[in-house]
Structure 1
């Protein structure tokens, strides 16, 4: 399994709708909005490098509103913590 982190810069028009569209792309496991130079981070999990190339060049970059991308491929995983625990706000659902 190959894991990659795709940084996505959106056009102004794409900011409000691009998140769910990125998440619907086959091979994209998760999408986050982020602060800074980039607008989204898409976590891609695929079997091979060729599959990653297809996700980026044939799917992600063709979405309307994607201005540019940068891909980082993971070499090693050091922790298998639950991603919600890692990225969550620490707020518990207190509804009764």
Structure 2
């Protein structure tokens, strides 16, 4: 399983449209509206890198209201007790 965090900048006035559209994708596990340079952080889970590429090219990049994205791949995850 590949986990990625995608940082998203929304076009002015399009934040809610982006959030609604992203919630409809099964690959998106979490959405966080954040303050600062980026507007949304999306946690995405896919089976492999080919699926991540397909998600980015065929779903994310055509989502209305998205201005810019940066994708961060998880290398390792630490569990807390």
Q: 1:16-54 CA distances to partner (integer Å, 9 max, x unpaired)?
A: 221121121231111110111000011000100000011
Gaps of 5+ in 1: 82-96
**8 Å CA contact 1:19, 1:32 repeated in 2:** no
Larger radius of gyration: 1
CA distance in 1, matches of 2:68, 2:26: 19
Tell me the TM-score normalised to structure 1 length: 0.78
- For this pair of structures, how many residues does the alignment match? 81
Q: 1:48-73 CA distances to partner (integer Å, 9 max, x unpaired)?
A: 00000111111011011000100000
**8 Å CA contact 1:25, 1:60 repeated in 2:** no
CA distance in 2, matches of 1:41, 1:29: 11
Runs of 4 or more, structure 1, over 4 Å off, are: none
- Which residue of structure 1 lines up, in the alignment, with residue 49 of structure 2? 49
SS in 2 for 1:16: helix
Gaps of 5+ in 2: none
- Which residue of structure 2 lines up, in the alignment, with residue 91 of structure 1? none
